[in-house]
Chain A
């Protein structure tokens, strides 16, 4: 008799819950966004705790979590924002491998820290790949369950477990390495491709003031509000590639920080690029939070990229499969 793959039942979807992996690469030239987890670091930590490959898909849970029913016993980890996860009323420790019993429920409560939690499960969420990825890009209807956010009565299938040994213990991300998400972080940026399109004043203002994350902020990008960033001439450029982290400035002189769901190309001058190592800090912000910027060299940005990855590999080595 064939064994039915385990599924997680969605009893309540939460505010905005999507299936995400590390993104959809290779199709940007056809207009397809990369998407993927906003806080890819938190998703990766969850997957490594469970013995999954880094690219395994999990749930990205925004501000208010879902209610999920586990039909079969499954091993999970909750990383990223602390949205007070509980199992049948008992607190689930963050950044730690946790055994969900058959028939148990996973719920979330008060938002304590951060904006986006990640639920990873041993074996990873599975399903039909769309252009090589499970990542949900709601705007274009790609990935996830039918190209949309998770909704009530969805059944999320879980893949086969690769290495049972890694998930049995109560493996945990050491406290010292868990990020502290603050509501007004400073993120580091390097010069953007059109830095010469801006007045010198723009750099001083960008790095000496603080910017509020407005309500017009989502997975595509954050519209920020703060000191005006003046252009030398036009704010518009001939459309070219943009990426997650690009800080583009339209003619209203207020910056937009592009995030995971950004389109592959854009037509506004880009003053700066947020470095990848600080992406988590930005990914954990919600409207009303603020952020500040510090300029570093491209060389330093590359060094930080390598050193932050090396640190993660040292604490939690990747699993290949």
Chain B
């Protein structure tokens, strides 16, 4: 297919690979992002991959939208559709329910499941990082098994704890930092998704794979080094 290119600003061009949220489209986005990262296009600033598009920002003093679009078109023609690198799989422990997951019971009830079965179902699939956004390190993961799909809260919480795992529609995500949030919170991970105190501040990158492993409150406390 020929991707559609649209100018976002004097210094940004968005390249669309489809108009749905699906694995194939997102794999094209990842392959394109990798190709742009490696191409060394003069004046390139950064690429922002999303679900079905990638936006390329450039220095509009060094180059222009027409030139950039020509460069990008050439890249898409020669682009390898196969992933340019093997996907990294991250195993992320999650304490489901309890005070860590105040919305688990409701999500489970709506699916006709016990909270334990709902947690097991959530942890039964491998998720793809479709994109990151909202806040530093926040991954949009897909796709949630359909019984667990749940709309956002009608009134967002003022404060969601760091590490909270939530569901919004068929997406699941993790809040790296404490923040306001409208996703249905079903659990919490002790893993830091974003930390400036390590060489790679961001745990997850677009295109990575994630598996959740249920843990209990005690294991959570051990992993956080919390004496409680």
Contacts and interface: CB of A to CB of B under 8 A. Distances in A.
Interface of A: 25-32, 130-131, 139-142, 190, 192-193, 238-243, 245-246, 263-265, 270, 273, 275-276, 298, 301-302, 305-306, 309
Contact of B8 (A28, A273, A302): A273
Interface in B26-75: 33, 45-55, 57, 60-61, 64-65
Contacts of A140: 135-136, 177
A29 B12 contact: no
Scoring B47, B53, B205 by chain A CB atoms within 10 A of each residue's CB, the highest score goes to B53
B223 interface: no
Interface in B131-146: 131-138, 140
Nearest to B20: A238
Nearest to A147: B196
B51 A238 contact: yes
Contact of A240 (B55, B136, B179): B55
B201 interface: yes
Contact of A32 (B49, B50, B136): B136
B136 A30 contact: yes
A131 B198 CA distance: 12
Given A28-B46, A240-B51, 13 more contacts: A25-B46, A25-B57, A28-B48, A31-B132, A32-B136, A192-B8, A241-B14, A241-B48, A242-B8, A243-B57, A273-B9, A301-B9, A302-B10
A205 B132 CA distance: 35
Contacts of A31: 132-138
B125 interface: no
A306 B50 contact: no
If over half of A's interface residues share one DSSP class (helix, strand or loop), that class is named, otherwise mixed; here it is mixed
List the 9 closest A-B pairs by CB distance, nearest first. A241-B55, A265-B133, A241-B48, A240-B50, A31-B132, A305-B10, A193-B6, A30-B202, A28-B48
A298 B9 CA distance: 8
A305 B64 CA distance: 11
Contacts of B87: none
Nearest to A238: B51
A270 B50 CA distance: 16
Contacts of B14: 193, 240-241
Contact of B46 (A26, A193, A298, A305): A26
Contacts of B11: 276, 305
Contacts of B8: 192-193, 241-243, 246, 270, 273
Contacts of A305: 10-11, 60-61
B226 interface: no
Interface residues of B, number: 45
Contacts of A142: 136
27 contacts: A25-B46, A26-B45, A28-B46, A29-B33, A30-B194, A30-B205, A31-B136, A32-B136, A130-B196, A139-B135, A140-B135, A140-B177, A190-B10, A193-B8, A238-B52, A240-B50, A240-B51, A240-B52, A240-B55, A241-B54, A243-B12, A263-B134, A273-B8, A273-B9, A275-B10, A305-B60, A305-B61
A94 B9 CA distance: 31
A30 B7 contact: no
B3 to A, nearest CB: 13
A226 to B, nearest CB: 22
B187 interface: no
A302 B48 CA distance: 21
B7 to A, nearest CB: 5
A276 B10 contact: yes
A297 to B, nearest CB: 10
A192 B54 CA distance: 16
B130 to A, nearest CB: 9
Interface string B202-226: 1001100000000000000000000
Contact of A239 (B51, B54, B65): B51
B208 to A, nearest CB: 12
A142 B201 CA distance: 13
A181 to B, nearest CB: 22
Contacts of B136: 27, 30-32, 140, 142
Given A31-B136, A263-B134, A238 B202 contact: no
